Amino acid sequence: MIVHWIKKVGLNSARIYFTCHNFEYQGTASASELASCGLDAQELNRPDRMQDKTAHDSVNPVKGAIVFSNIVMTVSPTYAQEVRIAEGGKGLHSTLNSHTRKFMGILNGINTDAWNPRTDNFLKVQYSANDKQGKAENKAAMRRNLGLSSADDQRPVMGGQFVLLGSCPVPHIQREFEGIANQFQNYEHIRLILKYDESLSHAIYAASDMFIIPSIFEPCGLTQCLYKRFTLS
């Protein structure tokens, strides 16, 4: 869609780069919604442009981005291959294959200096893969900080004790988690911290024995990259 706006303001030579982390979420909407953006629905709601594969009266913004961008990128070479088939492409595989020359995957990554247990100033004790005691001390420090029981030092953080950190911009979901947090506030093995806290996130990575990612699939997500960093460094 932005292509048409660019042409209107005379930037015909501008190049467009589209990056997509997860092709499952495509933002389909009624084709009539294009008019509210000042765009021509009849021109764009075509099979070779923005028309959704499953509903011909709907447009698919992600499909449109693939068609009109000069470069299309996703989070890893492996995921770029997965979305070229029906199961992974979620209805966009044929479009991606039609534009394969401009589609690529670049491996997602983290800042290994900021997330380095050997030098991380957010940690109680810096450590490495050869320093099991350092990880144990970080676990003990996090338990004290969150008021978790330390009666059994061998109890794993995740399987035996559970810590959740995060927040949700959707009010009713945030309220649901606040209710769960209140329900378990007196449990000595469970803590829900429903806010953004960078220092605590580092401490949790360093202290955890296991890590659960609450999504059905996560294409080359940063969360697992960060946890591996604090486990294998």
Measured CA to CA, the distance from residue 176 to residue 182 in angstroms comes to 10
Strand ranges (E), the chain: 17-20, 29-30, 58-59, 71-74, 103-105, 162-165, 190-193
Residue 93 near residue 85 (C-beta atoms within 8 A): yes
Query: What percent of the chain clears pLDDT 90, i.e. is strictly above it?
Result: 61
**pLDDT value for 81:** 96
Span 12-24, average pLDDT:
87
Higher pLDDT, 176 or 54: 176
**pLDDT value for 157:** 60
pLDDT of 5 strictly over 90: no
How far from each other are the two terminal CA atoms of the chain, in whole angstroms? Answer: 44
Q: What are the structural domains of the chain?
A: 2-105 (3.40.50.2000), 132-232 (3.40.50.2000)
Higher pLDDT, 55 or 67: 67
**pLDDT value for 4:** 61
**pLDDT value for 11:** 64
Q: What is the mean pLDDT of the chain?
A: 88
pLDDT level of residue 161 (50, 70, 90 thresholds) = confident
Q: pLDDT for 128-139, tens place per residue?
A: 877 878 888 999
Higher pLDDT, 225 or 176: 176
**pLDDT value for 110:** 92
